[in-house]
Chains A and B, each alone.
Chain A
Amino acid sequence: AQSVTQLDSQVPVFEEAPVELRCNYSSSVSVYLFWYVQYPNQGLQLLLKYLSGSTLVESINGFEAEFNKSQTSFHLRKPSVHISDTAEYFCAVSGAAGGYNKLIFGAGTRLAVHP
């Protein structure tokens, strides 16, 4: 069975400060990992993904995440946040079990960026 743990339910941070949102997963099969972002009253949008290859993946708006297999982690980082980054962030894992990919989400981390 797969599961995702997001260690922080809320992360307050000042504008231009660095931030890390933590994510750990468990799975008995090979996994694909994702971070999604949800702005108020909207659906989830893909932020970045790890499918294979380089363990460090980046988004177009400055976020990055590193797949660490030994620590079963996929933490999300940004060196300098903006007010517009305020949103809820979800870590997700998809693993092929029986040939089908079941997509499971963590509980989410609410990032609040303050001026």
Chain B
Amino acid sequence: DAGVIQSPRHEVTEMGQEVTLRCKPISGHNSLFWYRQTMMRGLELLIYFNNNVPIDDSGMPEDRFSAKMPNASFSTLKIQPSEPRDSAVYFCASTRTNAEAFFGQGTRLTVV
């Protein structure tokens, strides 16, 4: 398996623009997590899905953030409109029940 695949690896966008981050989890995994990593706040859990259903989105910072998982092999994290304070590395991770999580390489987002 190729592991968790995230795209793009880097994204630079202007404030106010819509940004969509993508994730393909490992086949057979039933849970998917979105994290944001910054120097100030460390690794924050934004939202996680189980069997494509959002279970806990309490970490989503604002209504500008939304996440979907239309099927078991794809998830998106959207920010609309983006702001400079959204600049961070966004990680996607997937796991089977009661096992360890595998992480993608992350998307480095810069909002100017």
Contacts and interface: CB of A to CB of B under 8 A. Distances in A.
A, B co-complexed: yes
Interface size for chain A: under 10, 10 to 19, 20 to 34, or 35 or more residues?
20 to 34
Main secondary structure of the interface of A (DSSP, over half): strand
B98 A108 contact: no
Contacts, number: 56
B55 interface: yes
A101 B91 CA distance: 18
Interface residues of B, number: 24
Interface string A45-60: 1100101000000000
A101 B105 contact: no
B54 to A, nearest CB: 11
Given A43-B91, A107-B42, A101 B97 contact: yes
B10 to A, nearest CB: 11
A108 B42 contact: yes
Contacts of B43: 44, 90, 105, 107-108
Interface of A: 32, 34, 36, 42-46, 49, 51, 90, 92, 94, 96, 100-108
